[in-house]
Chain A
Amino acid sequence: MKHHHDHSHDRSFDEGPTSEYEIMSRAMQELLIERGIITAEEVRRRMEQFDADFPYRGPRVIAHAWADPAFKARLLADGKRACAEFGLDLEAERLIAVENTPDVHNVIVCTLCSCYPRALLGMPPTWYKSENYRRRVVREPRAVLAEFGTIVPEHVAVRVHDSNADMRYVVVPMRPAGTDGWSEAELARIITRDSLVGVTLPKV
């Protein structure tokens, strides 16, 4: 696999009219099926295989980081190594974990394509791949966050992370008040995918 960025070079998830690439992709699939080279069933199974290959495991890691400050420090220092210690092999992905604090709110995007920490969070949501999100969150992050229901106070700096090359990113949200004594399994249940991309906050 020479071309190893995890982007698809299509824009089929954007809003608006069908793109040229989407038309080409559909035409190619129809031709391959018509000629008996692949079957629709094989395409469906491959899509399922993506989900199996990239399970959604982020909340367990972040819950552990909330419960164990020493682990959190190691996660922030070297995300891939800390995940390996936790039993999660991120394969080729290099992971940078960025921590939300009372002074900083982090949010992740890939403006060039749709790079995403798939080994940790599975397949990216549709909005993450949309042209709208990718174009706007770098220019007006506070407005985009507000559309997700996240109002970041003026005294908190917003830090946007463009996942534009070889690293992948995950946000370590702040542990909400009122969760003292919770088990890691209980904590993991309030850690949503969107909070690990940084567009929302975990809520009790």
Chain B
Amino acid sequence: MSLPSAYTEAPARRFNVGDRVAVKAANPPGHRRTPHYIRGKRGVIERVCGVFPNPEELAYGFNGEPKRVLYRVRFQQRDLWANYSGSARDAIELEIYEHWLEPA
């Protein structure tokens, strides 16, 4: 498999583990890796995954530059679904690119 070998650390980043963030409620066209169900929701940075070529560019045959910092963000299920019936501690985690996140 010949995949981009551009997986690097992310020393220059906007957020750190524990920071409260909100996912942008944007609705741009095209290939996006931010699921609709999480847009506009608030969560907490769980880990920094590193720097990756931007999939929104790779999808259209570009080289993915500039690369983007990818975060793992934890959301509480009860903040996502109005009628969530499970435990108050139930959570969901997703990978969100930095340009989709704002401080919250």
Q: Is B49 in contact with A167, judged by CB distance below 8 angstroms?
A: yes
B95 neighbours in A (Cβ, 8 Å):
162-167
- Residues from 72 to 122 in A contacting B, C-beta threshold 8 Å: 91-92, 94, 96, 111-112
The reply to whether A159 and B61 contact each other, CB–CB distance below 8 Å, is: no
How many residues on A have C-beta within 8 angstroms of the other chain's C-beta atoms? 30
Shortest Cβ distance from B47 into A: residue: A96
B29 at the interface (CB under 8 A from A): no
Interface: B11 (CB within 8 A): no
Interfacial residues of chain A within 128-173, with CB under 8 A of chain B in the complex: 138-142, 154-167
List CB contacts (< 8 Å) of A1-20 with chain B: 1-5
Contact between A94 and B37, CB atoms less than 8 A apart? no
How far, in whole Å, are A101 and B95 apart by their CA atoms in the complex?
22
The answer to whether B90 touches A165, judged by C-beta atoms less than 8 angstroms apart, is no
Tell me, rounded to whole Å, the shortest Cβ–Cβ distance linking B72 to chain A.
7
Q: Kindly report which residue of chain A lies nearest to residue B96, judged by CB atoms.
A: A165
**With an 8 A cutoff between CB atoms, is B28 at the interface?**
no
A94 contacts B87, CB within 8 Å? no
Q: Is the CB of A166 within 8 A of B37?
A: no
Nearest chain A residue, comparing its CB with the CB of B63: A2
Q: Report Cα–Cα, A165/B90, bound state, in Å.
A: 22
- List B residues 1-60 near A (Cβ within 8 Å): 1-5, 7, 33-35, 37-38, 49-50, 52, 55, 58-59
B residues 71-104 touching A (CB-CB < 8 Å): 72, 77, 81, 84-87, 89-97
Find out whether the CB atom of B92 lies under 8 angstroms from the CB atom of A94.
no
Choose one: A2, A91, A140; the contact of B1 (CB below 8 Å). Answer: A91
Known contacts A1-B1, A91-B3, A92-B1, A165 near B55 by CB under 8 Å = yes
The answer to whether A157 and B92 touch across the interface, beta carbons within 8 angstroms, is no
Taking Cβ atoms with an 8 Å cutoff, the residues of A that contact B are: 1-5, 91-92, 94, 96, 111-112, 138-142, 154-167
A-B contact pairs, 7 of them (CB 8 A): A1-B2, A94-B7, A111-B35, A157-B90, A165-B70, A166-B70, A167-B95
